[in-house]
Amino acid sequence: MRRSNRRGRTGRMEANILHADLDAFYASVEQLLDPALRGKPIAVGGGVVLAASYEAKAFGVRGGMPGRRARELCPGLIFVGGHFKDYQRLGDAAIKVLGDFTPMVERISIDEAFADVAGCTHLFGPPAEIATTIRRRVRAELGLPISVGVARTKHLAKIASQVAKPDGLVVVDPRHELEFLHDLPVELMWGVGPVTRERLAGIGVRTIGELAKTPGWSLERLLGPAAGEKLNALAWNRDPRKLETQRRARSAGAQSALGRKPAEAKIFVPALLHLADRVATRLRAKSRPGRTVTVRVRFADLRSVTRSITLDQPISATATLAEIAEALVRKVLVDHPHEKTISLLAIAVSHLEQQPGLQLELPLDLDDDRRRPGTSKGAARWTADRAIDKIRDRFGWEAVGYASVALGQSRSVPDAFRELAEKEL
């Protein structure tokens, strides 16, 4: 009788984790909706590329790239506006296909998810067969390409799905995991972005195998203790994480790419208020205020600096979050006086609590009681925000908002696109 856990009859761990990832999802949906776009280089967006088809990627076009630069690289590039409701509908439908095989599904974004099929192989066959059936069904029922990686750990399954792209399947034999992993470039690893990749290249580390052989003290000095230790473990495929089918987000955040803008208040204050509005609205919708506020400022050279503060009381008022974020950003700029250009701003709130209402407190003699959620002034802010939330629920996001946001700069990334990337709280 076949065992339902991950060990086979020989005791060897089996590859039962699937990572399914829809290929060039937003662009593929646009080509699905308009057959005239199929086989052509397209980009979703305008001022900024939100997503690109594989035909466009062949010219070097990438998500987050300014539209002007994308057109320079690919003169025949076709820009489309984006059908956000269709993205959500088709993304949900694709994840539902995985759920038809196993309840052990962990969705990590609109277009990708993990699935543990150890408990259903007696019904649907080996993991590779299940992955093949999933790919066939998504193509037949939705008309979309999907790549799947199958491996023993989440990290390796995700890497395998990237290697499988476009529209492929890669199954990693547990007996040859390190042979498969160590020849791959480090940027395929979870947590290795452009900045980390360049830092690693600076010490001669370009493959995962080279990373695995790098002394731990060297990685810790370069990347910090936590990041260095984590990447070293993943380079040896040490990843004990289990699937979290009921996972709740531990934080809520939003970011805005600014291009190259002066590090001036007239630029960052409206941007921070808009980000705070998006984050705080989500916190209030789920009654999950948070106590730790973190900001990230990225400069022109793509170097990022973060600052955070942990409060005595959890907050979810937009104005309060914006003011705290502004103070943190000003501190970053004071600490880096030579940086005159900002390319990105981000706000995150963590240490979330479940709090259906406000806990009133005695008004202490503080410089600004408005920032304390339980004081009369703090409660007034929260009440005003709840009134805005109700209007938006009924008439849409643009029906009402903060004046400084409305009068601020136009946003190149639509809010509907940002919402698709937000984790459920």
Binding residues: 21, 111
User: Which tokens sit at 23?
Assistant: 């290929």
Please give the Cα distance from 21 to 407 (Å, whole number).
39
**Binding site residue list for Mg(2+):** 21, 111
Radius of gyration of the chain (CA): 23
What is the residue-wise DSSP string for 223-259? H-HHHHHHHHHHHTT---PPP-TT---SEEEEEEEEE
The candidate with the shortest Cα–Cα distance to 231, out of 268, 274, 283, 181, is 181
DSSP code, position 356: S
Please give the Cα distance from 392 to 396 (Å, whole number).
4
- Residue written as token pair 């395929």: 188
User: Which stretches of 125-224 are DSSP H helices?
Assistant: 127-142, 154-164, 177-182, 194-202, 208-212, 216-223
Please give the Cα distance from 289 to 314 (Å, whole number).
5
Find out whether 223 and 232 touch, Cβ atoms under 8 Å.
Answer: no
Q: Which helix (H) or strand (E) holds 311?
A: strand 304-315
Which residues are catalytic, by number?
112
